[in-house]
Structure 1
C-alpha cells in the first residue's frame, strides 16, 4: 500500500514523497527511510526498491530532496549535501510519528549521493539501527579529480569563484547540465550517466530536470562522507559496490569499506553504477533486504 505524504523540515520547508506499508498485519513495522542520489527524484526507480522492502515486511518512507521534484525549496535545482543530511534526519523524525512505524527499528537506504548520506546518518544519528549504502560516493575530493580532466580542474575552480561573485552581487546562480553527451560539460560527465538519466527520466520521471546549480558541483567536490565510515559502528553497515563503477568510482568505495568497523558487509557486483537499478536490481535489492531482515 502506497500513499502520498508531506512533512516539514526543521526550517519549515515542505518535503513530499510516498509512504509504503505492508497490506498484511496491523501493527508497527520496521521502517526504511529512503532517498535518491545527485539531482534524482523518487520516480527514478526508487519505487522498485521500496516495493521489495514492503514485500519483505518493512514499511518505507521515500521522499524527494528539497529543491527537487515534488518537494519545496529554493533555489530550485540546488544540491547541498549537508542540508540533505539534515533534512533526512527530519524525515526520520517524521517516520517516527507514523502509526505504522516501529521507532526502535528504523533503517536508512541511500543510493549514489544518498548512499554517501546514509553513511553519514549512520554515524551521526543513533536512531538509525541499520544502514545500506548503495553505489555510494565516498570522497568528493578524490571523485571530482577522477571525473574532471586534470587540465580542466583549474578551469572549474575559477568558474566556482566567479559564480560566488555573481551570487554576492545578487545575480542568479549559474546552472549547468546534470548530464550531457560525451565531451560536453556536465556535473556527472560519464556516458552511462547521460544514457541512463535521460532515458529513465523520459520513461518514469517527467519532474526530473537536467540542470543543477554550479555551486552544487562545488559542494560535491568538498563533501567527504567516507570520513565518517569508522563511526557508523556499532550500527550495521552494508555497502553495495558496483565493481565497474566509473561515476562513484569503485576503488574509492572499496578503500572506504576497508576502514569501516564491524558489523559490516560488502556486496560487490560486477557491473556499472546504474546497472544496480536495472539488470542487477534483484541482486542489489536482495542484498539490502537480507541485511535489513538480519538487523531490523
Structure 2
C-alpha cells in the first residue's frame, strides 16, 4: 500500500493505493475505486476491501472524502453527497493518470452510503465500467424516511425547520456550529440493531480511528443530504453492470433491493443469509463472501480488448 494524494479541483485528496502481489510497474492492470461509508475513513472498511481486491489482482484506491479524514476542504466534517460523488470522479481521474492502470478497465465498489455515492457517480461517469455495492445506503432517502424506510419524505420537514433556526443562530447570532453524530453514542431500545452495531464498530477499538470523529455539520450537511437521491434516474442512466451484495438481516436491505429492482443494466443481487448491515464492514465471513462475489464480477466486466496487455 502506498499513501498518495491527488487533486479534486482545489482540494487535495488523501488516498491509499493498493497494488497486487507481484506487481509489475510495466504491466497494465484493472483498477477499482473503493468508496467509504458516511463517517468512515480509508483506514477502515474501504481500506480492507481495497486490500482484498489487490490480493485478487486489482489495483485498488481507497480515499478519504473531501472535508474529512486526511483529505483537504473546508469546512471540516461536511457530509455533502454532491461533493462525495465528485470525489469518486476525481479518484477515477487519478487512476487514469497511472501508466499501470488500464483506463478502460476501471470499476467502483461502495460500502453503505459509499455504495449510493458510487451508483450516482457511475450514472454520470461512464469511465466506470462496472459497479459493486455492499450494504448499500441511499443516504438522502434514508435520512428522510428513516433507517427502515417506513416514513414518508415529508417526515423530514420538522428537521428542516430546526435546521433553519440553527442556521439563523449560527449566521446571524454567532452561535457555535452544531454537529450531529453518524451513529448514536448512547443507543436505547428504539435504536435500530444496525446502528447499535455501527457504534460497536466506529466507537470501540474494533475500528475506532482518530480521523473518524463520528460527527458532521448539521446545517450545511443536512440541507444537502435531504435533497439527494442517489438512485434518481437509475433506470435510464445506469448502463454498467451492477452487483448488489447485502445481508438478509440488514435493516438497510430495502435500499439494496430497490436498487436491484430499478436497475435495467445487467445486474445481480446476492443476499447473504444471516448477515446484518455492519457484518460486511470487517467480519471475515461476510467480507470474504462479498469479495468472493466482487472479484470475479470485476474480472468479467473489466475484461476487454486491452486485457492481454497484463
Task: State whether TM-score is above 0.5.
Answer: yes
> 2:298 aligned with 1:292, yes or no?
yes
The CA distance in 1 between the partners of 2:58 and 2:28, in whole Å, is 9
Q: Report the equivalent of 1:268.
A: 271
What SS is found at the alignment partner of 2:44? coil
The CA distance in 1 between the partners of 2:186 and 2:127, in whole Å, is 42
What SS is found at the alignment partner of 1:65? coil
Relative to structure 1, the CA distance from residue 267 to residue 211 in structure 2 (aligned partners, 3 Å threshold; closer, same or farther) is same
The CA RMSD over aligned residues, in Å, is: 2.6
Q: Deviation of residue 146 (structure 1)?
A: 2.4
Residues 5-24 of structure 1: matches in 2 within 5 Å?
5-10=4-9, 12-24=10-22
Q: Work out whether residues 13 and 73 of structure 1, in 8 Å CA contact, stay in contact via their aligned partners in 2.
A: yes
The CA distance in 2 between the partners of 1:264 and 1:127, in whole Å, is 18
Q: Deviation of residue 27 (structure 1)?
A: 0.6
Relative to structure 1, the CA distance from residue 178 to residue 139 in structure 2 (aligned partners, 3 Å threshold; closer, same or farther) is closer
Q: Work out whether residues 119 and 228 of structure 1, in 8 Å CA contact, stay in contact via their aligned partners in 2.
A: no
Structure 2 unpaired stretches of 5+:
303-310
What SS is found at the alignment partner of 1:256? helix
What SS is found at the alignment partner of 2:291? helix
Q: Deviation of residue 5 (structure 1)?
A: 0.3
The CA distance in 1 between the partners of 2:45 and 2:82, in whole Å, is 24
Q: Work out whether residues 66 and 73 of structure 2, in 8 Å CA contact, stay in contact via their aligned partners in 1.
A: yes
Q: Work out whether residues 111 and 135 of structure 1, in 8 Å CA contact, stay in contact via their aligned partners in 2.
A: yes
Aligned residue pairs, count? 290
Structure 1 unpaired stretches of 5+:
none
Relative to structure 1, the CA distance from residue 38 to residue 126 in structure 2 (aligned partners, 3 Å threshold; closer, same or farther) is same
Deviation readout 1:102-141 (Å, 9 max, x if unpaired):
1010101111111001111111001111111111123623
Give the TM-score of the pair, scaled to structure 2: 0.85
Q: Work out whether residues 16 and 61 of structure 2, in 8 Å CA contact, stay in contact via their aligned partners in 1.
A: yes
The CA distance in 1 between the partners of 2:109 and 2:209, in whole Å, is 20
Relative to structure 1, the CA distance from residue 189 to residue 234 in structure 2 (aligned partners, 3 Å threshold; closer, same or farther) is closer
What SS is found at the alignment partner of 2:204? helix
Q: Deviation of residue 289 (structure 1)?
A: 0.9
Q: Report the equivalent of 1:280.
A: 286
> 2:296 aligned with 1:259, yes or no?
no
Q: Work out whether residues 232 and 260 of structure 1, in 8 Å CA contact, stay in contact via their aligned partners in 2.
A: no
Q: Work out whether residues 201 and 208 of structure 2, in 8 Å CA contact, stay in contact via their aligned partners in 1.
A: no
Relative to structure 1, the CA distance from residue 81 to residue 259 in structure 2 (aligned partners, 3 Å threshold; closer, same or farther) is same
Deviation readout 1:248-281 (Å, 9 max, x if unpaired):
x212321231111131111112311110121411
Deviation readout 1:60-84 (Å, 9 max, x if unpaired):
1111001111111111111100011
Residues 32-71 of structure 1: matches in 2 within 5 Å?
32-71=32-71
> 2:193 aligned with 1:195, yes or no?
no
Q: Deviation of residue 41 (structure 1)?
A: 0.5
Q: Report the equivalent of 2:169.
A: 166
Q: Report the equivalent of 1:209.
A: 213
The CA distance in 2 between the partners of 1:206 and 1:135, in whole Å, is 24
> 2:226 aligned with 1:221, yes or no?
yes
Q: Work out whether residues 78 and 216 of structure 2, in 8 Å CA contact, stay in contact via their aligned partners in 1.
A: yes
What SS is found at the alignment partner of 2:42? coil
What SS is found at the alignment partner of 2:202? helix
> 2:87 aligned with 1:81, yes or no?
no
The CA distance in 2 between the partners of 1:126 and 1:91, in whole Å, is 14
Deviation readout 1:205-224 (Å, 9 max, x if unpaired):
23210211113244333221
Q: Deviation of residue 226 (structure 1)?
A: 1.7
Q: Report the equivalent of 1:135.
A: 135
The CA distance in 2 between the partners of 1:184 and 1:172, in whole Å, is 31
